[in-house]
Amino acid sequence: MATFGYSLTPSSRIDLCKFNQEKWNRLVELESDVLKCMACGSCTASCTAGKFTRTSLRSAILYIQNGQEKQALELVQSCLLCGKCFMVCPRAINTRNLLLSINKIYSVK
């Protein structure tokens, strides 16, 4: 069979059935602030680590809600816990505790 340099790309479809409601409920129980996040991006814009890594709390929350826990952990684990995001958050979300709780709940053991 002749090849023309093209191939099929893997599907980017998100399977929402993979969303772990039990872990999400534990996260909400520990850090109810996660429900206050409006994904404004202030945390990501102020992030020191974000200049060198893909750290993004708002993206991590969205990944978790879409059942993509592994990708969420990759974004969270490069956080330096400097606290800049907490200072600029318009909803006063305790981002440090939220990041630590995400890391604790969603880490594969």
C-alpha to C-alpha distance for 57 and 47, rounded to whole angstroms: 10
Residue 101: name the closest of 29, 38, 37 by CA: 29
What pTM does this model have? Answer: 0.78
For position 6, what pLDDT does the model report?
75
pLDDT tens-digit profile of 18-67?
A: 677 889 999 999 999 999 999 998 998 998 888 888 888 999 999 998 88
> What residues contact 10, with CB distance under 8 A and at least 6 apart?
none
